[in-house]
């Protein structure tokens, strides 16, 4: 049973979209952790992470996996949305990732990720870890590691990269569902930095830039060694949300999948 991963990190966005600082570090950190656990890892960083490269990287990784294999995908970068044109979204918008060439190639939308995930062979387990964002707030948690004044939202508003005529009013947002193409009954899991209506924050910890969710997820994994995904997620929620990092991490997957050993 093979274990493979793709770690994506994009800091170098056009100024109009908003440059980030911690995403490449996130990708390196996830890569180092996964490599240490026996995964074969490929990274796509900054200019490497074009829209075409993301599609090819996901397609190759998932298409090459066989029954019993585990595939891990981590994404750190801006998140965004576009008005839904197909009518399949209850919140009237399609969410997506922002590739390096966002302003010319557009976002990689959830519908397209759905199609790629749908090509996997039976028995392939997918773990998707997405440290990108939307909007919202709440206060609690421990943020004593955070450098003062550092947090920046990992969100590219449509107006920053789309034509004004494409930006429309939205219907009220409903709670998110498991990312398209992922199995609700199998071993698939989605761990995300926030809900569909919140920001994930790009910040720094003791002088080093990172995504808040990535930093705490890896801190918990290294220090407390949680046995299951459920335990891992619970420990992360002890840190997030906090006063300066108002984001609610999410975990989606079956009850059985949440009790699987972490990255086993």
Residue 155 belongs to some domain of the structure: yes
Residue 195 belongs to some domain of the structure: yes
What is the domain range of residue 199? 3-258
> Is 114 an annotated catalytic residue?
no
Task: Please state, in angstroms and rounded to a whole number, the distance separating the CA atoms of residues 217 and 205.
Answer: 13
Chain centroid offset of residue 159 CA: 22
Per-residue pLDDT tens digits of the chain, which is 264 residues long: 899 999 999 999 998 889 999 999 999 999 999 999 999 999 999 999 999 999 999 999 999 999 999 999 999 999 887 665 554 444 445 788 999 999 999 999 888 888 898 899 999 999 999 998 532 222 223 344 444 455 556 666 666 666 666 555 444 344 344 444 455 555 788 899 988 778 888 999 999 999 999 999 999 999 999 999 999 999 999 999 998 888 999 888 888 999 999 998
Residue 141 belongs to some domain of the structure: yes
Provide the number of structural domains found in the chain. Answer: 1
Look-up of token digits 């995504």: 211
Contact 235, 215 (CB under 8 A): no
User: Which residues on adjacent β-strands are paired with residue 68?
Assistant: none
What CATH code is carried by the domain that includes residue 108? Answer: 3.40.50.1460
For 112, the 3-state DSSP assignment is helix
pTM as predicted: 0.81
Residue 264 belongs to some domain of the structure: no
Q: Nearest CA to 252 among 233, 239, 236?
A: 233
Task: Please state, in angstroms and rounded to a whole number, the distance separating the CA atoms of residues 120 and 69.
Answer: 10
Residue 154 belongs to some domain of the structure: yes
> Is 28 an annotated catalytic residue?
no
The residue from 7, 23, 78, 194 that is catalytic is 78
Task: Please state, in angstroms and rounded to a whole number, the distance separating the CA atoms of residues 123 and 73.
Answer: 17
Task: Please state, in angstroms and rounded to a whole number, the distance separating the CA atoms of residues 74 and 76.
Answer: 7
User: Which residues on adjacent β-strands are paired with residue 57?
Assistant: none
pLDDT of residue 169: 44
Task: Please state, in angstroms and rounded to a whole number, the distance separating the CA atoms of residues 214 and 194.
Answer: 11
Residue 263 belongs to some domain of the structure: no
The residue from 7, 23, 98, 133 that is catalytic is 133
Residue 205 belongs to some domain of the structure: yes
pLDDT of residue 213: 95
């Amino acid at each position: 049973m093979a274990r493979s991963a793709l770690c994506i990190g994009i800091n170098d966005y056009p100024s109009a979209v908003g440059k980030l600082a911690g995403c490449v570090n996130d990708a390196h950190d996830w890569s180092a952790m996964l490599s240490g656990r026996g995964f074969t890892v490929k990274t796509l960083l900054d200019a490497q992470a074009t829209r075409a490269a993301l599609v090819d990287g996901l397609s190759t990784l998932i298409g090459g996996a066989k029954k019993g294999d585990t595939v891990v995908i981590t994404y750190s970068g801006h998140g965004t949305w576009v008005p839904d044109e197909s009518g399949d979204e209850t919140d009237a918008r399609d969410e997506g990732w922002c590739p390096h060439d966002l302003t010319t190639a557009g976002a990689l939308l959830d519908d397209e990720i759905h199609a790629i995930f749908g090509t996997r062979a039976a028995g392939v387990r997918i773990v998707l870890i997405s440290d990108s964002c939307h909007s919202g707030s709440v206060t609690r948690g421990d943020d004593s590691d955070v450098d003062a004044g550092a947090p920046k939202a990992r969100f590219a508003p449509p107006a920053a990269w789309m034509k004004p005529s494409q930006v429309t009013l939205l219907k009220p947002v409903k709670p998110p569902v498991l990312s398209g193409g992922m199995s609700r009954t199998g071993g698939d899991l989605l761990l995300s930095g926030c809900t569909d209506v919140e920001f994930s924050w790009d910040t720094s910890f003791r002088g080093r830039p990172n995504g808040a969710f990535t930093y705490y997820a890896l801190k918990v994994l290294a220090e407390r060694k949680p046995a299951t995904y459920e335990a891992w997620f619970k420990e992360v929620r002890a840190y997030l949300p906090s006063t300066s990092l108002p984001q609610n991490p999410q975990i989606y997957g079956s009850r059985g999948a949440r009790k699987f050993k972490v990255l086993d």
